[in-house]
Amino acid sequence: MIGAIVQARMGSTRLPGKVMMEGAGKPLLGHLLERLGYCKKLEKIIVATSTDGRDDVIDKFCNSHHVAVYRGSEHDVLDRYYQAARALEITCIVRVTSDCPLIDPILIDEKISQFLNKLDDYDLITNRHPLTYPDGVDFDLIPLHGLDAAWRNATEAHQREHVVPFFWESGMRVNNFEDPRRLFYSHRWTLDYIEDYELIRSIYLTLYKNNPKFTSEDILKCLCANPELSRINAKYLPSTSSHNQNE
């Protein structure tokens, strides 16, 4: 089974509660789940949150929208993923973090189609190492055998919290697909800081009402027509800030 597992929690250190912040009439987590729902190749979507009481609001929101939830360790996110995958019998995990409310369903479908028959050849298929796509459309395809190996062998705290560093740090079989335009250096669509939220909210206010299925290319056209929007969070682009793959 191919399933997206979305890691989400309310206790983000940089922008607490960010996943439930509003944009165009619904929480950003709701937008992310809606966009994943457009994926034709996904058979299951599950939100993996923690057992911390602060995350009850995520559990309640998902239950009210008939989205499966798994609750596990707040900081051992690798274990959270592994247990969620085993509980729902997911054999190809599409890992998405909740700071990506502009995730690209077309790209996810494309890569599932490209690699589905090659899962025995890799332990991780990703666009994070290095990032070349706009920050905020990053995701991973992880065969269960790869996740199992990482779960059994990863020991460092950052490998347990961020799930994927162990794969390349330990020399596992990693395939990184890249955007030749290298938009990562000029476009930041991830949700870490209040300026990121202001940009993402502006994109949703501009595009969502007329076209809920707006694409990454629609976002690029919007930002080209409204260059002041990209300046909102420009200080966090790689030239001035290092990237941290946190929830």
> Which pLDDT value is given to residue 203?
98
Domains and CATH numbers, the chain: 2-236 (3.90.550.10)
Q: Which residues of the chain have pLDDT under 50?
A: 240-247
> Do 247 and 12 form a contact (C-beta atoms < 8 A)?
yes
The residues pairing with 27 across neighbouring beta strands, listed in sequence order, are: 22
Residue with tokens 């919007």: 222
Q: Dihedral of the CA atoms 3, 67, 7, 126 (nearest 10)?
A: 30
User: Chain-wide mean pLDDT for the chain?
Assistant: 96
- Of 184, 179, 180, 149, the residue nearest 163 (C-alpha): 149
> Which pLDDT value is given to residue 244?
44
**pLDDT tens string 25-78:** 999 999 999 999 999 999 999 999 999 999 999 999 999 999 999 999 999 999
> Do 205 and 199 form a contact (C-beta atoms < 8 A)?
no
Q: Is 226 helix (H, G, I), strand (E, B) or coil?
A: coil
> Which pLDDT value is given to residue 178?
98
Give the count of alpha carbons within 13 A of 242, CB side only. 1
